[in-house]
Amino acid sequence: MPRSYSVNKYKVNLSSTEREELTALIQLTEVPLGSLTHARILLMADNAEGRGHTDNYIASTLGVSAHTVGRVRKRMVNEGISSAVNRKPQPPRPEKLKIRGEAEERLIQLIGTQPPPGYRHWPVKMLACELGVGAETVRQALRRLSGITTLRRRGEE
């Protein structure tokens, strides 16, 4: 059974204004699902009027883990309502890019060459085989490089 430590450590006490904001947010149509779930978690965890539920109850009701409920509570108490409802943007991770430097130049060079017989352009899987990496890695690199290759092709013509 998951521990429900955050119900005691991180008590969510919403003001009436915050409760109204969260209720209005839930009624909007174009809000990310995660934000809606986090808003519901906060409303159910609200202890201002003594009606706060346990993490396990909230988790089972909303179909999330008790750990998620605990994280949302913690972010609400430590960072505020906006941080608790909205996802943090992921930082860029350039060290995770597998196609850089020479491999990137090789990819650009391959794209500029004649595709294999029977193809109008290079298939991603064939590019991946040529570079010795996965197809998803090549797809991401192509997406990242699309502006660069377009500019180079225009300049070369």
Check residues 117 and 151 and name the one with the higher pLDDT.
117
Q: How far apart are CA 154 and CA 14, in angstroms?
A: 57
Domain boundaries, the chain: 6-85, 94-152
pLDDT tens digits, 18-42: 999 999 999 988 889 899 999 999 9
What is the dihedral angle through the alpha carbons of 80, 82, 84, 88, rounded to the nearest 10 degrees? -120
Q: What is the mean pLDDT of residues 81-104?
A: 81
pLDDT tens digits, 64-80: 999 999 999 999 999 99
pTM of the model: 0.58
Question: What is the pLDDT, as a whole number, of residue 97?
Answer: 67
Question: What is the pLDDT, as a whole number, of residue 157?
Answer: 43
